[in-house]
Amino acid sequence: MSTTLDSIRALMIDADGVLWHGSKPLPGVPAFFDFLRARQIRFLVATNNSVPPASEIVSRLARMGATIDESTVLTSAQATARYLPRLAAPGARVYVIGGAGLTQELTRAGYRLVEENAEVVIVGLDTRLTYAQLSRATREIRRGAQFVGTNADKTYPAEDGIIPGAGSLLAALQAATDTAPIVIGKPERAMFDIAIEAMGAPRAQTAILGDRLETDVEGARRAGLRSILVLTGVTTRDRLAQSALQPDWVFENLDALRGEWARGY
């Protein structure tokens, strides 16, 4: 298998830490999407963040000068809704901790959002989380509801530093219920398989572009994909140097990646 960037014909692109950092856009985003289109490289913005609807990601990129459509977005909320029929048929009762993106996708998929007697508890990032919600989720899971997490990211790169992510909420509930969640987002195979199917891309020609070793790079390894790491998010050079888990390529930012890719790196 070729080890050059020219061998990559499809790309899963993480959002937080790659396209933006908190509410701050990162450099080089419009030019990078233009480059992918010019090279006819298929792409999907595949984010573990379950809070924003796909339409919000499209609008946010548009404000940055990058035009994409909703068919090229896959959030962990969307992936969870697509995976959920394997666990519970549409119409099942679901208790949700999460943002608008998650509740919209589950409702669109035909699930009933309830406050008690749930068949499934689904947990994503919720920046307005209350102790009462954690208590309710704990009771539902202990009563027998299946426990599903949109993603297991322990942290989230905000503008003013690293803050708790959905994985921190899953950890709290796992401690309270003695039950491990079924996780859909990266690095689990479910989200990668859904993304590859959506792009119609061979695994040998597909890479993940992200900022996290434990989700993007580890997920690529599990799914048999190449991995490209940019140092604009969670992973620093010091952390990378100390890790046994290494990506196929490392770049400071999108501009550096685009420049090397254009030169046939």
Q: How far is 90 from 148, CA to CA, in rounded Å?
A: 15
Question: Angle 70-76-79 (CA atoms, 0-180°, nearest 5)?
Answer: 75
Told to judge if 193 belongs to the known catalytic residues of this protein, a careful annotator would answer no
Provide the pairing of β-strand 20-21 with 24-25. Answer: antiparallel
Backbone angles phi, psi at 65, to 5 degrees: 95, 10
Residue whose tokens read 């969307």 = 78
Q: Which of 16, 153, 211, 216 is catalytic?
A: 16
Q: How far is 173 from 2, CA to CA, in rounded Å?
A: 43
Question: Angle 228-122-120 (CA atoms, 0-180°, nearest 5)?
Answer: 135
Q: Which of 6, 14, 160, 255 is catalytic?
A: 14
What three-state secondary structure class fits 62? helix
Told to judge if 16 belongs to the known catalytic residues of this protein, a careful annotator would answer yes
User: Which residues form the catalytic set?
Assistant: 14, 16
